């Protein structure tokens, strides 16, 4: 029971975090978020961490050698909570409405046949709930000289949770079961983790293809990863069938893994040992897993108007070795009489795989590896001074190599712009298409006071104008010191 409660807590209250770790669909810094999550050819300074390390060499103010991100005056923070299928209006319609019966008691909404069909269809592409919180604990960048390049050290936490409810379960709850019905639960998904990433990055400019590029940068990041917990459903091949005379056939075939820091004091129901670890949670728990990741990228300036970028991020994995549990079941249960205790005895243990679950030595999980391709266009330079202020237009193609947290094999395209009418004020907007969210309109502003820069934005600005259609709440803000 304690394991179930712990897992439920992780899913409900953990946040899918990836400070400076983009994947292909995740939130990064506030500037790129406001530009429709576009960054490969447009990032500057510490904004290039986790997206394109070659761009950490680029700075708005080339006279400043240091950049620092701390929790003051504003931490680098971004958050997204929501789904990919259920809007606020739909949630209120199906779950938020109520009425008063003849006895004066409040009762829930009665769903018609059309309502049940409509609700079931909402899950046709997968009913996924996701949370996303970005935090950077500390980052510092130093450029001693052009010949030495730029050196960067960063510490980032990465939390994550992603839960997909099966359409078959919704159909069962909405319509009940009749003889011959088969309810498939294979589309169930569950994943959550907390990682801490220690990144050391370096970027340098080189002369290459001088007839093509005025400037050319390369950069890479070495990422040491500590994992504090992991929960994942790795296989689900289960179904529920109703036969003649109300006979029930339950085919249960699944495998899941988890690993928790010893400091969390998690107990598994199958563990009969007398030694229990007392929970001592805190901001610096001992790791349950360790891993390594690698980012590298390139950025080239073709002329004063055009630039291009290419990067590969989070190439690596995490090995989990502490308190690693394997939950599995591969059984088929036939029940012809629910009142027959011989048929239902220990049914819960058989369905949850309690007798087959065990500790194992280790599991390995991939990081959200992805490729990013980008191009930028300096509109004010193209118009040769006839444009008010500075205007940067950028476009990205992002492709995840797996479906890990913060990643998607579905490609994502984005288009963004940054307008600087005055050196201290920056306006940004952009659009993102594809990936998990399918569509987002980003918008935000920046205030640059020289020594201190403040940024804020949202990747889902459209929901401010149609809040009842909102499927998620998201925003990002940060501050950066420059001297």
CATH number of the domain where residue 218 is located: 2.40.160
CB 375: neighbour CB atoms within 10 A?
Answer: 17
Helix (H) / strand (E) element for 418: namely: strand 412-422
Q: Quick one: which of 449, 380, 456 has its CA closest to 421?
A: 380
Do the beta carbons of residue 211 and residue 303 sit within 8 Å? no
The answer to whether residue 274 sits within a structural domain is: no
Helix (H, G, I), strand (E, B) or coil at 51: coil
Paired tokens of 228: 């504090």
Helix (H) / strand (E) element for 241: namely: strand 239-242
Helix (H, G, I), strand (E, B) or coil at 61: coil
Q: Quick one: which of 83, 191, 167 has its CA closest to 129?
A: 83
Residue given tokens 């069909």 in the structure block: 117
The answer to whether residue 331 sits within a structural domain is: no
The answer to whether residue 454 sits within a structural domain is: yes
Q: What is the pLDDT of residue 18?
A: 39
Give how many domains the chain has, as a whole number. 1
Query: What are the residues whose beta carbons fall under 8 Å from the beta carbon of 163, sequence distance 6 or more?
Result: 11, 128, 129, 130, 189, 190, 191
The answer to whether residue 411 sits within a structural domain is: yes
The answer to whether residue 424 sits within a structural domain is: yes
Question: 312 is in which domain, residue-wise?
Answer: 2-85+123-246+291-316+367-482
What is the C-alpha to C-alpha distance for residues 281 and 288, in angstroms, rounded to an integer? 13
Q: What is the pLDDT of residue 332?
A: 79
What is the C-alpha to C-alpha distance for residues 223 and 226, in angstroms, rounded to an integer? 10
Q: Quick one: which of 18, 24, 32, 23 has its CA closest to 477?
A: 32
Paired tokens of 292: 């390594």
User: Tens digit of pLDDT per residue, the chain (483 long)?
Assistant: 344 434 444 433 333 333 456 688 888 899 999 999 999 999 999 999 999 999 999 988 888 899 999 989 998 988 888 888 889 999 888 887 766 666 767 777 778 888 888 888 888 777 888 877 778 989 999 999 888 999 999 998 888 888 988 888 887 777 777 777 788 888 889 999 999 999 999 999 999 998 999 999 999 999 999 999 999 999 988 887 877 767 778 888 889 999 999 999 888 888 877 566 677 777 889 999 999 999 999 999 999 999 999 999 999 999 999 999 999 888 777 777 766 777 666 666 667 777 788 999 999 999 999 999 999 999 999 998 789 999 999 999 999 999 998 899 999 999 999 999 998 999 999 999 998 888 999 999 999 999 999 999 999 999 999 999 999 999 999 999 999
Q: What are phi and psi of 52, to 5 degrees?
A: -155, 95
Scored b (16 or more CB within 10 A) or e, 37-69 reads bbbbbbbbbbbbbbbbbbbbbbbeeeeeeebeb
The answer to whether residue 360 sits within a structural domain is: no
The answer to whether residue 281 sits within a structural domain is: no
Query: What are the residues whose beta carbons fall under 8 Å from the beta carbon of 301, sequence distance 6 or more?
Result: 213, 214, 215, 216, 307
What is the C-alpha to C-alpha distance for residues 26 and 367, in angstroms, rounded to an integer? 13
What is the C-alpha to C-alpha distance for residues 251 and 254, in angstroms, rounded to an integer? 10
Q: Quick one: which of 116, 59, 122, 46 has its CA closest to 89?
A: 122
CB 158: neighbour CB atoms within 10 A?
Answer: 30
CA atoms within 13 A on the CB side of 363: 23
Q: What is the pLDDT of residue 409?
A: 93
Helix (H, G, I), strand (E, B) or coil at 98: strand
The answer to whether residue 70 sits within a structural domain is: yes
Helix axes 113-122, 167-175, angle to 10 degrees: 170
What is the C-alpha to C-alpha distance for residues 15 and 289, in angstroms, rounded to an integer? 19
Helix (H, G, I), strand (E, B) or coil at 342: helix
């Amino acid at each position: 029971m304690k394991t179930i409660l712990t897992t439920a807590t992780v899913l409900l209250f953990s946040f899918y975090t990836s400070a400076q770790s983009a994947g292909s669909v995740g939130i990064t810094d506030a500037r790129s978020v406001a530009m429709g999550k576009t960054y490969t050819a447009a990032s500057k300074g510490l904004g290039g961490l986790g997206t394109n390390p070659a761009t950490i060499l680029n700075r708005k103010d080339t006279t400043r050698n240091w950049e620092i991100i701390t929790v003051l005056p504003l931490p680098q923070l971004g958050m997204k909570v929501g789904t990919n299928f259920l809007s606020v209006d739909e949630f209120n319609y199906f779950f938020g409405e109520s009425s008063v019966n003849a006895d004066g008691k409040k009762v829930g909404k009665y769903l018609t046949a059309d309502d049940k069909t409509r609700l079931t269809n909402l899950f046709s592409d997968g009913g996924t709930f996701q949370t996303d919180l970005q935090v950077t604990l500390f980052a510092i960048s130093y450029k001693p000289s052009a010949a030495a390049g730029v050196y960067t050290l960063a510490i980032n936490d990465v939390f994550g949770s992603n839960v997909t409810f099966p359409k078959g379960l919704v159909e069962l709850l909405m319509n009940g079961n009749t003889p011959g019905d088969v309810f498939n639960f294979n589309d169930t998904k569950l994943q959550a983790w907390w990682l801490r990433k220690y990144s050391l990055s370096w970027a340098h400019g080189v002369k290459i293809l001088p007839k093509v590029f005025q400037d050319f940068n390369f950069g890479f990041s070495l990422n040491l990863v500590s994992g504090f917990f992991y929960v994942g459903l790795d296989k689900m091949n289960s179904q529920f069938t109703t036969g003649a005379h109300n006979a029930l056939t339950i085919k249960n075939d699944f495998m899941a893994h988890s690993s928790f820091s010893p400091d969390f004091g998690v107990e598994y129901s199958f563990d009969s040992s007398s030694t229990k670890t007392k929970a001592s949670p805190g901001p610096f728990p001992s790791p349950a897993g360790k891993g390594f990741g690698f980012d590298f990228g390139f950025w080239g300036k073709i002329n004063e108007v055009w630039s291009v970028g290419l990067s590969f991020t989070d190439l690596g994995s995490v090995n989990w070795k502490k308190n690693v549990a394997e939950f599995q079941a591969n059984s088929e249960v036939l029940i012809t009489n629910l009142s027959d205790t011989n048929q239902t005895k220990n049914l819960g243990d058989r369905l949850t795989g309690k007798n087959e679950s065990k500790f194992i030595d280790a599991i390995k999980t991939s990081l959200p590896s992805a490729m990013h391709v980008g191009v930028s266009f300096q509109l004010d330079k193209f118009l040769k001074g006839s444009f008010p202020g500075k205007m940067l237009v950028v476009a990205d193609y992002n492709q995840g190599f797996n479906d890990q947290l913060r990643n998607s094999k579905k490609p994502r395209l984005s288009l963004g712009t940054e307008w600087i009418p005055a050196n201290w004020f920056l306006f940004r907007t952009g659009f993102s298409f594809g990936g998990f969210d399918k569509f987002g309109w980003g918008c935000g502003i920046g205030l640059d006071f020289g020594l201190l820069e403040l940024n804020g934005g949202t990747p889902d600005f459209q929901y401010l104008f149609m809040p009842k259609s909102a499927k998620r709440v998201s925003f990002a803000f940060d501050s950066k010191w420059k001297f």
